[in-house]
Structure 1
Amino acid sequence: MWEPGLIPTACQLLDWRDARHFDRFRDLPCVLCEHPTPMRSHHGEPVHKTCAEAWITAHPVEARLGRFASDLRPKGKDDDDHA
């Protein structure tokens, strides 16, 4: 597991840009739809990104516990917050 970022609200998309979400060596059954996927959650669960987004929309209260979350956004040059 690596540190997740924000948990999207219902109907928002997950930001999974980190390469650790992709297992290039093997597909495992998605924990939600049971079809093979190379995608992994921050907790290492095999899950399609679209399945995770649909689950968040269908379970907004449980989603607050952080089962599926977006990646931390690296601070960019445009995020300069000093005076």
Structure 2
Amino acid sequence: MASHLNQQQKQLLLPILYQHNSLFDTSEPKIAKTHIYHTKPTNVNSNPVNSKPYRVSSEKQKIIDNQIDSMYTSGLIRPS
């Protein structure tokens, strides 16, 4: 728990956190459900962003691949 809270504040906060523990579940990525619709305005004549790939170590590449696989399996991303 946050170190900047005193004992009384922690005792007040703890029941609220337990009551709403499903909101803080970080065991797997989930898509949040909301009624808010988000758009990013684009210019019809603009080109897509293009950047060169950069090198990473094989260890970092494994981490990247695992994250991508996890997001794909969870439905957070899809092939372009």
Say whether the fold is shared (TM-score over 0.5).
no
More helix by share: 2
Name the TM-score, length of structure 1 as normaliser: 0.21
More strand by share: 1
Name the TM-score, length of structure 2 as normaliser: 0.21
